[in-house]
Amino acid sequence: MPTKISIRLIALLISLVGFCFPTVSVANDKPPQVLIKNVNIFDGRNEQLQIGQDVLVEANLIKQIGKGLTAGSEATVIDGGGRVLTPGFIDAHTHIALIAPFDQLENEYTGVYVGAAGGQMAENMLMRGFTTVRDAGGASIGIQRAIDDGWFPGPRIFSSGAFITQTSGHLDMRDRTNPHKHAGGHHSHAQSIGHFAAVDGEAEMLAAARQQFRNGATQLKLATNGGISAVYSPLDLDQFTDDELGAAAQTAEAFGSYFMVHAYYDNAVSRAIDFGARSVEHGHLMTEASVKKMKEKNVYLVVEALMSLSEGSPDFTPDQQKKFDLAMGNFKKMLELAKKYEIKIALGSDTFLSKAAYDLQAQEWTARAKLFPSAEIMKQATSIGAELIELSGERNRYREGPLGVVQEGAYADLIIVEGNPLEDITVLADPGKNLRLIMKDGTVYKNSLQ
């Protein structure tokens, strides 16, 4: 048996040998490559396809685009068969974590349940070709982090964190029996897990806005009007004082980002723009004055066609249906004004509240076909959406390359489509059949080309 001194001596010799002769790594440290051959490229900006191209992906970025490209011997080679290759799609208005009606989110579902269900909804969105989404309010930051940490597949999420409202504003989810916290009310469960933040006064707005960025939000979402789905919020409610709006705007600017607004009426839109809002969600009841102001200030409009052209939910109360009919009755007139002033329009689906509703996301393509040419819709869902979400500046955690485009140095978020969506956008409404390749961040999540 060796003595303790002998054991220590052996250990010392082993360590010295290791020090003098470091282990030689035999691992292949070259970044993985994927060579996609023979595709017709829609680059996100130009309506004219680039015919017969190859795309070389290295790690998570597009390294080279051209004809007759070659790759290393260990590269994965995919033959596109002359099909259309596009950037991954961007849904600029989702609510991944609002998986049930507001009263149920308040009273029935734990944060764990919401995260599990929302994670599945996120994966489903990726399999519809949406490689990036902007979450416009709800407890989605945890889902965003779990995807980035590799726990399950899903799109890149630009999360707004909790939807910021005022007492009796849109998404104030408290029960009617729960009075204000300053009048003896108890804390809201939905607020505690991050679905919304109800604020009253400048100090509370500052705290809520700063907390969202602290939690990991990329931008803020505010309601400056009431909401259709809200139970205790009139649609015409003009939300927030100037001091409150100013506090949100100052916070967004301090964090190098921006804020978007849920708004319908002129005054709510106009006030938000005055304080620096960069995108208007909905805007159905705007008149020419507000649309013109949006153009002057380069404010984006996010249009949800499927919701706007529907007849409302069968679960609506009479009051909710009345608000819905009022707003949607002016939708096409508002959209005509937006087209007249050439407002930048991004694609949003705004499907939430149930799994059945989320499953309608791909039908947004068919609804939009009634309003815009196919090529214009493709730009809304790629380069224009990317312009909007990248306004988050330093809060954008995906800054290795641009999103929403197919160009050298861009993120390798790529879709290969059966059919030509520039001519017929409705082929995207059947993602199971017509999305033949789905790649996000250089990783292939679906390949039915083989």
Q: Which among 250, 334, 256, 341 is positioned nearest to 295, based on CA atoms?
A: 341
d(CA 13, CA 22): 14
Q: Do 69 and 54 meet the contact criterion of CB atoms below 8 Å apart?
A: yes
- Structural domain tally of the chain? 2
- Average pLDDT (386-406) is 97
- Average pLDDT (130-154) is 96
Q: Which among 142, 91, 147, 148 is positioned nearest to 114, based on CA atoms?
A: 142
Q: Please check whether residues 297 and 413 belong to one and the same domain.
A: no
CATH code for position 131: 3.20.20.140
Q: Please check whether residues 279 and 169 belong to one and the same domain.
A: yes
- Average pLDDT (348-356) is 92
Q: Do 433 and 418 meet the contact criterion of CB atoms below 8 Å apart?
A: yes
For the cut 90, the answer to whether the pLDDT of residue 449 exceeds it is yes
For the cut 80, the answer to whether the pLDDT of residue 5 exceeds it is no
Q: Please check whether residues 199 and 75 belong to one and the same domain.
A: no
Q: Do 376 and 343 meet the contact criterion of CB atoms below 8 Å apart?
A: no
The pLDDT, as a whole number, for residue 175 is: 55
Beta strand pairing status for 279-285 and 259-265? parallel
- Average pLDDT (135-155) is 96
Please report, for residues 68, 216, 228, 238, the alpha-carbon distance to residue 417 in angstroms, rounded to integers and kept in the order given: 21, 34, 36, 44
Identify whether 126 is part of a domain.
yes
Model confidence at 269, pLDDT cuts 50, 70, 90, reads very high
The pLDDT, as a whole number, for residue 3 is: 46
Q: Which of 99-103, 112-116, 237-241 has the lowest mean pLDDT?
A: 99-103
Identify whether 393 is part of a domain.
no
Q: Please check whether residues 227 and 349 belong to one and the same domain.
A: yes
Q: Please check whether residues 47 and 176 belong to one and the same domain.
A: no
Q: Please check whether residues 222 and 314 belong to one and the same domain.
A: yes
The pLDDT, as a whole number, for residue 195 is: 86
For the cut 60, the answer to whether the pLDDT of residue 22 exceeds it is no
Here the tokens at position 270 are: 């106009």
Q: Which of 49-58, 178-187, 326-335, 401-410 has the lowest mean pLDDT?
A: 178-187
Range of the domain at 307: 89-371
Q: What is the DSSP string of 261-326?
A: EEEEEHHHHHHHHHTT--EEEEEEE--HHHHHHHHHTT-EEEE-HHHHTS---TT--HHHHHHHHH
- Average pLDDT (341-370) is 95
CB neighbours (10 Å) of residue 107? 12
For the cut 50, the answer to whether the pLDDT of residue 414 exceeds it is yes
For the cut 50, the answer to whether the pLDDT of residue 2 exceeds it is no
Q: Which among 190, 174, 197, 222 is positioned nearest to 114, based on CA atoms?
A: 190
Torsion, Cα 170 190 255 347, to 10 degrees, reads -60
51-109 pLDDT per residue, tens: 999 999 999 999 999 999 999 989 999 999 999 999 999 999 999 999 988 788 888 88
The pLDDT, as a whole number, for residue 12 is: 42
Identify whether 1 is part of a domain.
no
242-263 pLDDT per residue, tens: 999 999 999 999 999 999 999 9
Residue bearing tokens 């006030």: 271
Higher pLDDT, 26 or 336: 336
Q: Which of 9-23, 134-148, 172-186, 281-295 has the lowest mean pLDDT?
A: 9-23
The amino acid present at 168, given as its one-letter code, is: S
For 12, counting Cβ atoms within 10 Å of its Cβ (0-12 exposed, 13-18 middle, 19+ buried), the class is: exposed
Average pLDDT, the chain: 90
Identify whether 398 is part of a domain.
no
Q: Please check whether residues 168 and 73 belong to one and the same domain.
A: no
Model confidence at 226, pLDDT cuts 50, 70, 90, reads confident
For the cut 70, the answer to whether the pLDDT of residue 288 exceeds it is yes
